[in-house]
Amino acid sequence: MGMGGLALASLFSNDGLMAKGMDSSLGTALPGLPHHAPKAKRIIYLFQSGGPSQLDLFDYKPGLSDMHGKDLPESIRGGQRLTGMSANQSIFPVAQSNFKFQQYGKSRTWVSELMPYTAEVVDELCFIKSMITEQINHDPAITFMQTGHQLPGRPSMGAWLSYGLGSENQNLPGFVVLVSKNAVRDQPLYARLWGNGFLPSQHQGVQFRSGKDPVLFLSNPENYDGNDRKEMLDYLKDLNGIQYDTYGDPEINARIAQYEMAFRMQTSVPEVSDMSDEPDWVFDLYGEESRDPGTYAANCLLARKLIEKDVKFVQLYHQGWDQHGNLPSGIKNQCAKTDQATAALIKDLKQRGLLEDTLVVWGGEFGRTVYSQGTLTADNYGRDHHPRCFTMWMAGAGVKPGFTYGATDDFGYNVTQDPVHVHDFHASLMHLFGVDHEKLIFKHQGRRYRLTDVAGNVVNDLFT
């Protein structure tokens, strides 16, 4: 009866005959979800791995010119912890940005000369300049930002949304991951960052790669056709059904759902990955690298195609922002690879009417220090990790456009107005999807878990 119910639910769901409220393992929302009317239907999260320097991109501090080269006042640092990479420095010389800032748009938002394309869309963006995190090193900080906890093993954001809200496309995963092939590999990325943790396994992110096979092991082996595969899956389903009847393990049903999704993806993945139908003006908008599959620009374009197919969560990872030394040249190269495509995504979504219910997020795991790590020269400096304040932005789907929230001190070292903790950010993101972060829970090993752990407040001032 369990297998029959699964098959029947799948048929009803595909035909639109079943109301929301079924288990999300069948692709539909959990009972009672969404908790309130959502403003976002889907999300593209542009994760900039390594910690972009807010002081060289968005958090303009003109007063640093008077302090350049001088030791950071102890009253500003306040005895806060440092990483092992700069803790032994005898002085902490303030480093003003090498780059010029201007105000753009009706919102008069300050943006660095490194981001000329982003400057064109600032009136669509909602900047949060008062982000704070608890983690000072990359691995726990990235894990914290992606899963709500600094230790591995928790479900990722995408897995939580897939579990709670299900998927509107039966032929593609609800959670897709894209990793730039043209990035500087300064910090490793792990599959657990988009993993399902203790949630059912069909909610983990599926990584799409560049090349002939976007999803590993999806294509049929040589001399093995679709009929053979379908026959194999039918027999495998029967065997798994016997195992489920014997043990009652719900993960068996999750495994069956994954096999069946993989079979459907043999057709849907090549179709959505095919860029041949995109006109030249689209490639010109995203930049020349958008013609090269797997680059950041190409992944931004693919992200748009995926959300057009109702993929709920598309996560892009772009490495290379960890600039402890030679920051001016390093960050310039990073912006050259990402700025145009990022802004193009905003423009493209808006002109297609998709920005209204698609949330776009840009940001890393923490910020960078105002003082130089290592030697400060007239034209070169580095910056260490800084969890006390950093900048992120969101766009679309109910967030205030042309708006800046929060502020930092004159050194860009401490938050002085409206701090937004990582848990607050997660709570706010879930709220946009109609989810009360305190109610979407999963009981595991005797404890009830949620994305925001035991904290988090929705920042309503960010919303229209």
Residue 309 inside a domain? The answer is yes
State how many domains the chain has: 1
Share of the chain above pLDDT 70, in %: 91
Query: Are the C-beta atoms of residues 376 and 72 closer than 8 Å to each other?
Result: no
**In a domain? residue 157:** yes
Phi, psi of 363 (to 5 degrees): 165, 170
* Residue 51's CATH number: 3.40.720.10
Q: Is residue 129 part of a domain?
A: yes
CA atoms within 13 A on the CB side of 107: 18
Please check whether residue 192 lies inside any domain of the structure: yes
Poorest-confidence range of 52-56, 172-176, 269-273?
269-273
Three-state secondary structure string covering 244-290: HHHHCCHHHHHHHHHHHHHHHHHHHHHHHHCCCCCCHHHHHHHCHHH
Please give the pLDDT value at position 193. 97
For residues 11 and 38, give the distance between their C-alpha atoms in angstroms, rounded to a whole number.
26
Which two structure tokens, joined as six digits, stand for 357?
Answer: 């219910």
Residue 274, CA distances (Å) to 154, 188, 269 in order: 34, 28, 9
pLDDT band of residue 10 (cuts 50, 70, 90) is: very low
Confidence of residue 27 (pLDDT cuts 50, 70, 90): low
Tokens of 396: 């679309």
Judged against a pLDDT cut of 90, whether residue 28 lies above it is answered with: no
Longest dimension (CA), the chain: 75
Q: What is the structure's pLDDT at 19?
A: 32
3-state helix, strand, coil in the chain (%, to 5): 35, 15, 45
Task: Say if residue 274 is exposed, middle or buried (CB neighbours under 10 Å; 0-12, 13-18, 19+).
Answer: exposed
**Three-state SS at 58:** coil
Whether omega before 34 lies within 30 degrees of 0, making that bond cis, reads yes
Please check the confidence at residue 308 and state whether its pLDDT lies above 50. Answer: yes
pLDDT (tens digit per residue) in 290-304: 999 999 999 999 999
Identify the domain containing residue 362 by its residue range: 29-216+293-462
Query: Structure pTM?
Result: 0.89
345 pLDDT exceeds 60? yes
In a domain, 229, yes or no: no
What phi and psi values does residue 352 have, to the nearest 5 degrees?
-95, 0
Given this model, what pLDDT does residue 20 score?
34
Beta-carbon contacts of 261 under 8 Å, excluding residues fewer than 6 positions away, are: 171, 173, 202
pLDDT tens string 78-131: 988 899 999 889 999 999 999 999 999 999 999 999 999 999 999 999 999 999
Average pLDDT, the chain: 90
Any domain includes 130: yes
Q: What is the pLDDT of residues 370-416, one digit of tens each?
A: 999 989 998 999 999 999 999 999 999 999 999 999 999 999 999 99
The helix/strand/coil state of 393 is: strand
The pLDDT of residue 13 is: 37
Answer yes or no: is 185 within a domain: yes
